């Protein structure tokens, strides 16, 4: 009852002209930043933080939270229209979103992304409001063993992503894991697999790899389709919005993905990217038509988008409850709080409850704002697919180059992008799935670091990963996920043998 009254007070505080303007401007800026390849929520907040110096605490932090929420959604726009994920969290959205756009339904795909993002975001804020303290305590129970088990579970998804060709999928995943080992050794600090290249000391940058594998490879594929037809007629656009039937069909997927995204978002270091991959896999596992995934399936858009936006509220749980930033973006937000003379943590709830619940109300309004902007802009955004390829290809290439350079202000990242563009091109030509490589590159270093920390803490005792309950559960889920495709293959093979040949 007390929380409900404080929430009403929070809405009362936030519904002023200045705060509403902060929400709208922040959401619009966030969407723009998220849609630009190479820029992400943390970079956007860091770049726009000076704008809040002269503002009071509530409108300043509400604007930054709106940028955060808008940027996570904005990544889906270019993922769907250009096969270029604006943020790493939108990598999964490419698989079905781009296919829908190519099938003449970009507006429908964009509307589903906005709707799923909105539902996931609102769900996570509700969890943030009512369950922050207990969920934050749960996050503190995760040590290196639990994080390794979680990463192992995430990596086990590869068996589902590569179900059509297991051998090629595993090869792709191994390449991703090997790439993740380049740089300074996480324990000893010794350079490994850098080949005396200074730029590799910090490891292989993920953004240029992502842009190269998806965007640049698509440019090569497009150029290959007869240069004289680059300006050919595009497929007609239909289905500019989703219907009630579409929404009902993905209800279970959105709810499940919102829960996954919130829980994974709470864990420090896990983030929106991991939650989107896990949710995509679970959506495919529970779907009645898993064969449609990757070919333009609404569930394939709804799952990652609900999850990655739910992770925004989840990441705020340890920040506000314990003062622990759960992601790169929330680490930047800690600086924003301190600039305003505030320190996130338990004392914030006691000393500034009106501000805390004002922030909760601001996040609700931020999700509403990007949803409205996304739905209103779906028709306009979808017109991108009408642009002739001779104009669109250079535009994508310029955006990709700027995005890769902006990551570290380094030309070496641009060369890395083009290199992985060539790799991605040949992977698509020879039908090697890209998703396992991306997933392995994201989770590989995290799995390795937590595995080695776990062994150091346990003095080399391997049983520590199996004697801790949470770790054991995730390991069991991971092994079950790994073997399920093989069990399914054996079962399908037996059914095929049992079917009598037709005469």
How crowded is residue 395: how many other Cβ atoms within 10 Å of its Cβ? 12
- Residues facing residue 184 across a β-bridge: 191
| pLDDT given for residue 233 in this prediction | 43
Q: Give the model's pLDDT for residue 46.
A: 77
Give me the chain's average pLDDT, please: 83
Separation in Å, CA 470 to CA 6, 158, 268, 413: 34, 22, 16, 38
Confidence of residue 333 (pLDDT cuts 50, 70, 90): confident
Are 79 and 403 in contact, with CB atoms under 8 Å apart? no
Taking the model in full, what pTM does it have?
A: 0.78
Q: Cα–Cα distances in Å, from 47 out to 53, 262, 344?
A: 12, 26, 21
* Residue 255 to residue 249: CA distance in whole angstroms: 12
What angle, 0 to 180 degrees and rounded to 10, lies between the N-to-C axes of helices 166-179 and 435-457?
A: 60
**Is the pLDDT confidence value at 410 over 70?**
yes
Percent of the chain with pLDDT over 90: 18
| pLDDT at res. 408 | 76
Distances in Å between the alpha carbon of 252 and those of 124, 130, 306, 379? 16, 22, 11, 26
Residue 495 pLDDT exceeds 60: yes
Cα torsion through 180, 182, 183, 189, rounded to 10? 90
Average pLDDT over residues 406-429: 87
DSSP 103: T
Q: Please say whether the beta carbons of 212 and 416 come within 8 A.
A: yes
Confidence band, pLDDT 50/70/90 cuts, at residue 499? low
Closest-CA residue to 62 (of 32, 123, 118, 21): 21
| Residues in the chain, total | 503
Confidence of residue 230 (pLDDT cuts 50, 70, 90): very low
- Taking the C-alpha atoms of residue 93 and residue 294, their distance in angstroms, rounded to an integer, is 10
Q: How confident is the model at residue 289 (pLDDT cuts 50, 70, 90)?
A: confident
Distance CA 91, CA 417 (A): 16
What whole-number percentage of the chain has pLDDT above 70? 90
Question: Which segment, 50-54, 227-231, 453-457, is predicted with the most confidence on average?
Answer: 453-457
Q: What is the pLDDT of residue 476?
A: 92
Residue labelled with tokens 């505030």: 342
Q: What are phi and psi of 184, to 5 degrees?
A: -80, 135
Q: Would you state the pLDDT for residue 357?
A: 87
Burial 369-385 (b: 16+ CB within 10 A, else e): bbbebbbebbeebbebb
Encode pLDDT of 349-365 as tens digits: 777 888 888 888 999 99
Alpha-carbon separation of residue 365 from 25, 325, 447 (angstroms): 12, 22, 36
Cβ 237 vs Cβ 107: under 8 Å: yes
* pLDDT (tens digit per residue) in 235-257: 555 556 788 888 888 999 999 99
Strand partners, 192: 183
pLDDT tens digits, one per residue of 149-203: 988 888 887 776 666 677 888 888 899 999 988 888 877 888 988 888 887 888 8
* pLDDT tens, position by position, 378-398: 777 777 767 777 777 888 888
**DSSP H or E stretch at residue 184:** strand 183-184
∠ CA 308-311-313, nearest 5°, is 135
Question: At 295, phi and psi to the nearest 5?
Answer: -120, 10
In the numeric block, the tokens 């309004």 are attached to 365
Tell the residue number behind the tokens 């698989």, with chain if given. Answer: 95
* Closest to 38 in 3D by CA, of 380, 383, 397, 326: 397
pLDDT attached to residue 435: 80
Q: 326 pLDDT exceeds 70?
A: no
Pick the most confident of 143-147, 285-289, 363-367.
363-367
Q: How many separate helices (H) and strands (E) can be counted in the chain?
A: 23, 2
pLDDT tens digit sequence for 295-309? 888 999 999 999 999
Residue 232 has pLDDT above 80, yes or no: no
Of 441, 309, 439, give the one whose Cα is nearest residue 363: 309
- Tell me the three state secondary structure of residue 140: helix
Dump the DSSP string for 285-344: HH-S-GGGTTSS-HHHHHHHHHHHHHHHHHHHHHHHHHS---SHHHHHHHHHHHHTT---
pLDDT above 80 for 140: no
Secondary-structure percent of the chain, ordered helix, strand, coil, rounded to 5: 75, 0, 20
Residue 379 has a pLDDT of 77
The tokens for 413 are 């990242």
pLDDT confidence of residue 236: 52
């Amino acid at each position: 009852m007390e929380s409900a009254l404080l929430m009403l007070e929070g809405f009362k505080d936030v519904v002023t002209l200045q705060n509403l303007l902060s929400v709208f401007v922040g959401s619009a800026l966030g969407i723009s930043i998220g849609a630009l390849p190479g820029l992400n929520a943390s970079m956007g907040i860091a770049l726009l933080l000076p704008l809040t110096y002269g503002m009071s605490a509530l409108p300043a932090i509400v604007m930054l939270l709106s940028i955060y929420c808008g940027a996570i959604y904005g990544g889906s726009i270019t993922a769907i229209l250009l096969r270029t994920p604006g943020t790493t969290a939108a990598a999964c959205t490419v698989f079905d979103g781009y296919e829908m756009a190519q099938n003449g339904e970009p507006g429908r795909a964009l509307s589903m992304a906005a709707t799923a993002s909105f539902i996931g975001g609102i769900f996570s804020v509700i969890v943030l409001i009512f369950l922050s303290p207990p969920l934050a305590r749960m996050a503190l129970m995760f040590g290196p063993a639990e994080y390794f088990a979680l990463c192992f579970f995430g990596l086990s998804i590869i068996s589902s992503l590569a179900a059509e060709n297991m051998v090629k999928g595993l090869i792709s995943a191994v390449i991703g894991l090997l790439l993740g080992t380049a740089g300074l050794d996480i324990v000893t600090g010794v350079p490994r697999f850098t080949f005396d290249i200074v730029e590799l000391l910090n490891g292989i940058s993920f953004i240029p790899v992502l842009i190269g594998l998806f965007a640049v490879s698509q440019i090569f594929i497009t150029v290959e389709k007869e240069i004289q037809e680059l300006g050919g007629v595009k497929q007609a656009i239909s289905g500019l919005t989703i219907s009630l039937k579409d929404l009902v069909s993905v209800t279970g997927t959105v709810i499940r993905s919102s829960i996954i995204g919130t829980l994974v978002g709470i864990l420090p270091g896990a983030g929106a990217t991991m939650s989107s991959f896990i949710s995509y896999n679970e959506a495919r596992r529970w779907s009645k038509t898993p064969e449609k995934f990757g070919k333009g399936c609404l569930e394939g858009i709804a799952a990652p988008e609900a999850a990655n936006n739910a992770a925004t509220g989840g990441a705020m749980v340890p920040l506000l409850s314990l003062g622990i930033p759960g992601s790169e973006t929330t680490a930047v937000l800690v600086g924003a709080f301190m600039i305003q003379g505030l320190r996130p943590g338990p004392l914030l709830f006691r000393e500034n409850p009106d501000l805390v619940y004002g922030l909760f109300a601001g996040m609700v309004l931020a999700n509403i704002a990007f949803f409205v902007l996304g739905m209103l802009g779906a028709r306009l955004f979808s017109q991108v697919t009408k642009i002739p390829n001779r104009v669109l290809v250079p535009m994508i290439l310029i955006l990709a180059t700027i995005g890769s350079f902006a990551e570290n202000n380094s030309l070496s990242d641009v060369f890395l992008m083009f290199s992985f563009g060539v790799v991605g091109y040949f992977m698509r030509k020879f039908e090697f799935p890209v998703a396992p490589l991306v997933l392995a590159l994201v989770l590989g270093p995290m799995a390795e670091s937590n595995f080695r920390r776990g062994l150091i803490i346990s003095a080399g005792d391997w049983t520590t990963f199996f004697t801790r309950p949470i770790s054991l559960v995730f390991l069991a889920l991971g092994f079950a996920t790994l073997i399920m495709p093989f069990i399914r293959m054996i079962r399908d093979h037996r059914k095929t043998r049992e079917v009598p040949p037709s005469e």
